[in-house]
Chain A
Amino acid sequence: MTDALHRLLRTPQGVLGLGLLAVLVLACLLGRSLAPYSPEAMDFAGRFAPPGARHWFGADQLGRDVLSRLLVGASSTIPLAVAATFSGALVGACVGTLSAYLGGRWDEAITRTIDAVMAIPHLLLALILVSTLGKGSTNAALAIAISVAPSMARVTRSVALSVRQQDYVKAAIARGEGAGWIVLREMLPNVAAPLIIEATIRVAFAVMLFATLSFLGLGAQPPASEWGLMISEARRFMHQAPWILVAPALAIATTAICFNLLGDGLRDALNPRDER
């Protein structure tokens, strides 16, 4: 693992991605104490204050400091998106590996089901799920996890199919191991590398999907300072005070770019190529 980290730090994408990630983690952990103001502190005299020395990113329609809201909002946006992606990825990985292991008719059935689910656009699927489950951050995260799972299952299956042919899997079958052991202990650890890469890139989608759900009023609820919700609230004042909109939009973009870069870097770090 330290080896992979070492290689990650040698690629420019990796360094940049890790740097941005450090900033984001810091914001998630210490956002509340770093914030210059309380995110809920209203100041009617300072409504729509433009970015400046007092409010670095300006103030919103209620005079709340945008920077403080962003910092505090980080902890309600990023961890949920990451958790949603990785739980979805884990479920998808298990299903995909199982499908590759079972093969034959089972594989066919699982793959076709995945295809059917994937035919529904992510956002639509998430919308359907949230509208059945009810509004709220947790349900939005659950919806994201479920919409991530099928595509992860598909990616995993293709990798697991080649692992399935490896002799150590055959050795386990010849030993009389159960399906659970073979899938979880023999195969899954060996499909992990491409999965981590794929999942990291998916986090960027999840952050945006989560923001979209909040923007549509189905995710986080006011007065939370979730980024998508902030954009949704700022939309009405777009022409009056564009910074209220631009700041959270930039934050979402940065997060997406961070995870994309990280994924690219990991792809190089975890798959050392022939250097010829």
Chain B
Amino acid sequence: MSPVLAVAGYSLDYVTREGTQRVLEDVTLAIAPGEVLGLVGESGSGKTSLAWAIMRHLPGNAREAAGGSLRLGDVDLRAASARALETIRGRRMSMVFQDPSTALNPTLSIGRQVSEVLVRHRGLSEKDAWQAATEALAHVDLRDPAGLMKRYPHEASGGEKQRVVIATAFACRPELIVFDEPTTALDVITGARILELFGRLRAETGVSALYISHDLALVARVADRVAILEKGRIVEEAPADRIFTAPAHPYTRRLVAAVPRPEQRLVTDQVRPRELLRGEGIAVRYRRKRLFRLAPPPATDHVTLDIRRGEILGIVGESGSGKSSIARALTGLADYEGDIALDGRRIGSVKDMDRTYRKAVQIVFQHPDSSLNPRQTVGDILARPLRLYGGDVATIPALLDEVRLPAAYARRYPHQLSGGEKQRVAIARAFAAKPDLVICDEITAPLDVSVQASVVELLLRLREANGTAYLFITHDLNLVRQVAHRIVVMRQGEIVDLLDMEMLRRGEIHSYTRELIAASPTPVG
């Protein structure tokens, strides 16, 4: 059978001021009818560039090397005119994007956006298209599709929006759909449901798909075959069930090894029950009651938790469950009700947080790009907490060495570092204060698996050396099961479960926790 998509010997360069940079090198792959090919690579491997090359929407500085071909069925995409492409895109191939919040036009109603595709490509009248679009939305399991058609994107949740995007992509029964990390921006449970939906639609329509992701475990779940992309080259292509059990290429082996496996504990020691910090009935509210407005429900509803000396306490939950609000309360970034006690000393409000408290409780943020001031050098960034908390600025090289960065990095600016290196600087900044507790707010989420593994390893080594406790906030249940001593599970601002590893092993867990565990993609084999 002839393939739906055939890419042969395709190479791509970007022309930048520093010279030409090769992003794709001699890429060859084929997708048979009804097949799903997973494309896995770390950031910068060129996987999104390949998606845009197939959709024929490359940036102005892209230069395609002669010789390579991109074929969709019988059409040579590289030779197709702009007009021909207009009829192909949306009709014969479509795309589902990573971030559903930016993939829909905020000024058009959802109905307009879905029915427009039908009017454009199936030649339906406005009225028929509206009808067909409503059916399409019903088909992706959206509640009240007729009502949703009239709403605007900001009136829908992230998961609903992604379903709308998927409904639009499937609307014209295309031959090929390109998925560019469709679940990365969603929380685990929503993401898992989107994958279920995709599985059902796929069985119904027999569509072919190119499924791009950085998450190997996830791709192994949805794809028939997996191609591994390293720096623009496809290094391995194998059936999905074989990629974990028998990875052939060393790079694939490294990727597979970096995937967190919940049954493989990285922390083996036990901590003595000596309380370091206690939060009693913490409630964070982002909006106060006004004259004509009732107070909205608090982001965290009188949550009580304690952290022991040297302990790793994991907090997991979906987005909006209030886990980050706890971090904000503990670091004085948000006003809170309730009591915090550090070493038995009571901190009743943000005003009570003095230098000793601030020194003891440090935070590392999720996005390394925004957590370092772009106008300060790494040296300046690290010098500040040292000066503030009575450290010695001369220890900066030692501090950089502790996070495995060369001392020369002190003179660099954040934009000259990679994401993982930036996160190491942020960790060094937290440890410059010699803290008792470091709050890690989703710090591994934006990083590639291999970088993620090395950051986790770094954290564990620092803990061993300094006896620091961690509050490890994450949505990655597999990872937290590897490192945490105890896990707090949150839902809608409340703690639903607090379990230690022993309870987890015995299965004494809340039904919601069970649901979360089921939704996390686990490495097969």
Residues of A within 8 A of B (CB): 166-168, 170-171, 173-177, 186, 189-190, 274-276
Contact = CB atoms under 8 A, between A and B. Distances in A.
A168 B371 CA distance: 4
A190 B388 contact: no
Given A174-B332, A276-B60, A189 B375 contact: yes
Contacts of B374: 190
Interface of B: 57-61, 331-333, 353-355, 358, 362-363, 365-367, 370-375, 384-385, 388, 426, 429, 433
Contacts of A167: 365-367, 370-371
18 contacts: A168-B372, A170-B365, A171-B365, A171-B371, A171-B429, A173-B333, A175-B384, A175-B388, A175-B433, A176-B354, A177-B384, A189-B373, A190-B373, A190-B374, A274-B59, A275-B60, A276-B57, A276-B59
Contacts of A275: 59-61
B57 to A, nearest CB: 8
B232 to A, nearest CB: 19
A242 to B, nearest CB: 49
B126 to A, nearest CB: 31
B324 to A, nearest CB: 11
B327 to A, nearest CB: 9
Contacts of B388: 175-177
A107 to B, nearest CB: 15
Nearest to A168: B373
A175 B358 contact: yes
Nearest to B364: A171
Nearest to A186: B373
Contacts of B372: 168
Given A167-B370, A186-B373, A190-B373, A174 B358 contact: yes
Nearest to A104: B288
Given A190-B375, A276-B59, A174 B370 contact: no
Contacts of A176: 332, 353-355, 358, 388
A206 B504 CA distance: 70
A274 B358 CA distance: 40
Contacts of B59: 274-276
B409 to A, nearest CB: 17
A177 B387 CA distance: 11
A174 B333 contact: yes
Given A166-B371, A174-B358, 8 more contacts: A167-B367, A168-B371, A170-B365, A176-B353, A176-B358, A189-B375, A274-B59, A276-B57
Contacts of B333: 170, 173-174
Max count, chain A CB within 10 A of own CB: residue among B58, B353, B366, B375: B375
A116 to B, nearest CB: 24
Contacts of A173: 332-333
A186 B58 CA distance: 36
Contacts of A276: 57-60
Contacts of A170: 331, 333, 363, 365
B363 A166 contact: no
Contacts of B332: 173-174, 176
Nearest to A188: B375
A105 to B, nearest CB: 11
9 tightest A-B CB contacts, nearest first? A167-B371, A176-B358, A167-B365, A189-B375, A276-B59, A174-B331, A168-B373, A167-B370, A275-B60
B385 A175 contact: yes
Contacts of B370: 166-168
Contacts of B429: 171
Contacts of B353: 176
B17 to A, nearest CB: 8
Contacts of A174: 331-333, 358, 362-363
B100 to A, nearest CB: 20
B33 to A, nearest CB: 31
A173 B433 CA distance: 14
Contacts of A186: 373
A167 B426 CA distance: 11
A11 to B, nearest CB: 15
A156 B365 CA distance: 26
Nearest to A177: B388
A65 B331 CA distance: 69
A275 B63 CA distance: 13
A276 B52 CA distance: 11
A165 B385 CA distance: 20
Contacts of B354: 176
Max count, chain B CB within 10 A of own CB: residue among A168, A173, A275: A168
Nearest to B384: A175
Contacts of B433: 175
Contacts of A274: 59
B30 to A, nearest CB: 28
A193 to B, nearest CB: 10
Nearest to B59: A276
Nearest to A165: B370
A41 B375 CA distance: 52
A41 to B, nearest CB: 51
A5 B229 CA distance: 38
A166 B372 CA distance: 9
Contacts of B363: 170-171, 174
A176 B333 CA distance: 10
A237 B354 CA distance: 72
B349 to A, nearest CB: 14
Contacts of B355: 176
B233 to A, nearest CB: 24
A186 B57 CA distance: 38
B443 to A, nearest CB: 11
Max count, chain B CB within 10 A of own CB: residue among A166, A173, A177, A189: A166
Contacts of A171: 363, 365, 371, 426, 429
A168 B370 CA distance: 6
A81 to B, nearest CB: 28
A178 to B, nearest CB: 10
Contacts of B385: 175
A110 B392 CA distance: 40
Max count, chain B CB within 10 A of own CB: residue among A168, A171, A177: A171
Contacts of A190: 373-375
